[in-house]
A = this chain, B = another copy of it.
Amino acid sequence: MLEKINEPKDLKHLSIEEMQTLAEEMRAAIIKRVNTTGGHLGPNLGFIEPTIALHYVFNSPTDKFVFDVSHQCYPHKMLTGRKAAFTDPDKYHTFSGFTNPAESKHDTFFIGHTSTAPSLAVGLAKARDLKGEKYNVVAILGDGSLSGGEALEGLDNAAELDSNYILILNDNEMSIAPNYGGIYKNLALLRQTRGQAENNIFKAMGFEYMYLEQGNDIAALIDAFKKVKDSKHPVVLHIHTLKGKGCKPAEENKEFFHYMGPGALDNKPTEYAPSYISLTVDYLLKKQQTEPTLCVISPGTPGAYGLTPDVRAKLGKNYTDVGIAEEHAVAYASALARAGAKPVLNVLSSFIQRTYDQLSQDLALNNSPATLLIHYGAIGPDNVTHAGLYDIPLICNIPNMIYLAPTNAEEYIAMLEWSLKQTAHPVAIRVPFTEMRHAEKPVQTDYSDLNKYEAVRHGKQVAIIAAGNFFGLGEAVCAEMEKTLGISPTLINPRYLTGVDSDLLNELKKDHQIVLTLEDGVIDGGFGEKIARYFGPSNVKVLCYGADKVFADRVPLEELYARYHLTPQLITADVKKLLK
């Protein structure tokens, strides 16, 4: 079946039975592909039948689909000319795992962060109405994404539309982890009552509401989609689907198989670089023994921080998964800290982006001594939506915030310990995202004398300020310069990304002509520019290294490093040129 489907119109003449066969072929291909490359398994397996029915009933790309977070877009890709990425191992890496307008006219937006589809779809609907056009706008939203503020803002606005707007609520009873929040009590009740519960959050907002229990039954889905198609007002169609459908392990362990590494279905151990993560978890579990007000927080993505179900069970009341609600997570942490508790918020670099105002107003302005652990902050070959590049400029330009960049395990734990002890500042720590490194001598335990850098090695002419993940690169640059230029550089671990050590920098002016800054993130607005500004009125020359301000999509790390001169050889060559 799949062989014959090259675009959505090829579906239109199929019988229900043929579509069921198609679904099974798609399922087999997805399982095989994800078990080879890794990827989002559960959400895609649960959304095969709905996708077939969507393309059968609606006419993409005239009708517009907006897939929230797009963790469920593989079936859509398979039906819109991109099946080779799932059937041909040579092409497994040809296409992105997310919707991508550069790939296909059937993808309306680049999407990888949650809770945006209801809002984006309102804009499409309004543009259609202003232009006097006629088509269906269909937002597809997972239940887990519903707790995000942007989704709720979007729904609130959608309800005011006086025209076609269709929200398919794909309720598989799970976020990445189990759902948390009052909204989910309502969804559970709606499932139990087959949509007949007295209080209905969608009806309360003014939506027409329909419920379909058989969310993986193609015939039932087609009927339901036909009912909402061409609706002249906003409608929510709540469908109950099975996450991981058709793959027993994924049905049974929905959290683990939401996103999986290669070979996970064959019990291959996941190849995270887990060292700093397990170090964190071990620390927190130990801390819990002596700190009854510890509150470990995850905004809906606990697995990324090693907060597996058993760790969560151990943490008990000392753990909150706020659901996908990063803004709340920061405000919550701030209030906990102000009231004397010890919050530790875990968040991915890419997702801390959702909280600038909360970092500034709720947290920093109130100087609440909360601890934030920023994970996966690094230049990487990520999908463009998940780059860990921007957390440094985001955090380091907010007054009162302290942003620390540890360079090894002992320093990291010392900083975390200090952060939990002190009560003067909000402290963010950029969790190292490198191979595990260890300190060569005892590390400092008190970081309250702010912005004091550590000169690890004293040299002349050239000083290298190597932050966090790039401290190892700094060491390698030193070695390379000694070897090829005969220069013995000074090497500095700045530790603080939020300020400059003017004493140390002034000292450098005496016998250093060139200062290099190395940071594992975008240069613009980041740490290095603070150093460049500091030396602006002096004779010291500054070269800042990091990533360019460009959206890079799945570019191999080596290529990025070559592009940005992030190797000892390229940096040394730059310095050699400057010394001439």
Contacts and interface: CB of A to CB of B under 8 A. Distances in A.
Given A204-B201, A397-B522, A295 B126 contact: yes
A356 B356 contact: yes
Contacts of A323: 153, 156-157
A120 B120 CA distance: 28
A110 B116 CA distance: 29
A130 B341 contact: yes
A360 B390 contact: yes
Contacts of A318: 130
Given A123-B332, A328-B122, A357-B353, A532 B536 contact: yes
A528 interface: yes
Contacts of A159: 181-183, 185
Interface string A509-531: 00000000000001111101110
A186 to B, nearest CB: 4
Contacts of A185: 159, 205-206
A323 B155 CA distance: 12
Instruction: Give the contact-size bracket for chain A.
Output: 35 or more
Contacts of A356: 353-357, 394
Given A204-B204, A325-B153, A336-B127, A353 B362 contact: no
Contacts of A353: 356-357, 360-361
A120 to B, nearest CB: 4
A325 B157 contact: yes
A276 B293 CA distance: 51
Contacts of A542: 533, 536-537
Interface in A133-172: 147-160
Contacts of A122: 328, 332, 335
A440 to B, nearest CB: 31
Nearest to A112: B361
A346 interface: no
A101 B541 contact: no
Given A199-B204, A353-B356, A158 B182 contact: yes
Contact of A525 (B111, B207, B529): B529
A298 interface: no
B551 A541 contact: no
Interface of A: 64, 101, 108-113, 116, 119-124, 126-131, 147-160, 180-183, 185-186, 198-201, 203-207, 292-293, 295, 317-318, 320, 322-323, 325, 327-328, 331-341, 343, 351, 353-358, 360-362, 364-366, 384-385, 390, 393-394, 396-400, 522-526, 528-530, 532-533, 535-539, 541-544, 549-551, 578
12 contacts: A113-B361, A120-B332, A122-B328, A127-B341, A130-B317, A131-B339, A149-B152, A153-B322, A153-B327, A201-B205, A353-B360, A532-B536
